[in-house]
Amino acid sequence: MKNVTIQQLVDDLEPVQRLHPNRAISAIVIITAVFMLFVVMVLGPREDIMSGRPDPMFLMRSGILLLLGLANAGAVIGMASPAVGRHNNSWQIAVAAASLFPLAAIILAMSAGFTNTLAAAYTGMECLRMSAVGGLAIAIPIILFLRRGAPTSPERAGWLTGIASGGLGAFAYNFHCPFNDLIYTGTWYTIAVGICAVTGRAIVPRLIRW
Amino acid sequence: MIASEEIMRGLMVRAQNGDKQAYSVLLEQTGRWLARFFARKIAADAVDDLVQDTLVSLHRKRASYDPSRPFLPWLAAIARYRWVDRLRQTYKHAAQSLDGEFGEKSHEDVVLAKISISRLLDQLPSGQAYAIRLVKIEGLTITEASAKTGQSEPLVKVNIHRGLKRLAALIESV
């Protein structure tokens, strides 16, 4: 150990503002809510919401996407402050729960086919676009928090950032999406979250500084 | 004698608030703790550099320490990250004997055992752990490790690559 290095570090010491995970989570929730309002005001809300009788598929989809987004957001925010022996597998449970949608879609498509889903490709692409735009906005506070923190697995942080932001972006868009079809949901929403996850894995590790 | 968890936690909190005197003591104590932590887990001539790297990371990332949690598991996570990062770097050095006792035993031994690097290596399949120990820690060449393990040279390389990837994913989990 070179004392000169310790002295340099001591000389460089300034008070630091500690990380506040609750503030990061609050920022994520607020941006999600703002984006949801934007979607509803610009694209219009689902009719069943306006009539006060939401479709069961909408409720299930909303719940799963919210669970997926928040569980992954919580996990990735926790990664900023590392500790040996800490376990957080809530994101894995959420991903497993969400994977029921694409699995069910595949099983149903074996008999019904993807014809209707592919015919709705235009709105499917809108789902991808809007989820990605919302995901990008939601990813910003996560990335800023990670840059201040010390994530010991930048690659995993990238995956979780992408899944969290994509899940919450899709959750916000879901308030406009008029489709209740399981195959449609299992296909386009999975692609939307998947693209955000892969993008997060590719980009976020490069933005984390040690 | 290395300071206890409670003392180091208190010093870290004061350091986060800008107390240079406490920080100086903390870094000195942490340096000793890290030297012990890394002992026999990397070539002896690389320990000092690794300790320095970890102290610099501690300095840069000191905002990420949460005072409501224990200090040593946080430090160990950063130290493990730095260790895996160092193993990933290609370096060559003369093989050195890594035998022998290091430092004095202290009341922190139990804590250290739970967060040690050995515990991390134990999670790897034996072939991967052995290849990493021989090449990355003891400094053998791929050819020498191949002869010693009975694994082919490509297999030694694959085991090192996969083992390091797995270590990186396991840093906080065990």
Residue A48 Cα to chain centre, angstroms = 25
Q: Could you tell me if A72 and A94 are in contact, meaning their C-beta atoms sit under 8 angstroms apart? A: yes
Q: What is the pLDDT of residues A117-134, one digit of tens each?
A: 677 788 889 999 999 999
| CA dist., res. B121 & res. A11, Å (int) | 36
Better-predicted residue by pLDDT, A118 or B87: B87
Distances (CA, A) of A17 to A20, A58, B18, B62: 9, 41, 10, 9
Greatest CA span in chain A, whole angstroms?
Answer: 72
Q: Which residues contact A199 (CB under 8 A, 6 or more apart)?
A: A132, A162
For A201, half-sphere exposure in the C-beta direction (CA atoms, 13 angstrom radius) is 9
Residue A75 CA to residue A94 CA, distance in Å, equals 11
Nearest to B101 by CA among B30, B34, B39, B33: B39
Lowest mean pLDDT among B35-44, B63-72, B91-100: B91-100
**Shortest Cα distance, chain A CAs vs residue B57, angstroms:** 7
Q: How many CB pairs under 8 A join A and B?
A: 117
Q: What is the pLDDT of residue B174?
A: 67
For A17, A53, A131, A185, B14, the CA distances from A177, given in Å and listed in that order, are 41, 15, 11, 10, 52
Give pLDDT tens digits for B44-79. 788 899 999 999 999 999 999 999 999 999 999 999
- The residues of A whose Cβ lies within 8 A of any Cβ of B are 1-2, 5-7, 9-19, 80-87, 148-150, 152-153, 155-156, 210
What mean pLDDT, rounded, does chain A reach? 92
H or E stretch at A200: helix A190-207
CB A193 within 8 A of CB A131: yes
Q: How confident is the model at residue B116, as a pLDDT?
A: 76
> Does the interface ipTM go beyond 0.85?
no
Tell me which chain B residue has its CA closest to the CA of residue A18: B63
Q: Do A82 and B74 touch (CB under 8 A)?
A: yes
Per-residue pLDDT of chain A (210 residues; tens, 9 = 90+): 445 589 999 999 999 999 999 999 999 999 999 999 999 999 999 999 999 999 999 999 999 999 999 999 999 999 999 998 877 889 999 999 999 999 999 999 888 777 776 777 888 899 999 999 999 999 999 999 999 999 999 999 999 999 999 999 999 999 999 999 999 999 999 999 999 999 999 999 999 988
Distances (CA, A) of A62 to A32, A65, A168, B92: 13, 5, 9, 54
Chain A residues in contact with B63 by the CB 8 A cut-off are 16-19, 148-149
Q: How far is A18 from chain B (nearest CA, A)?
A: 5
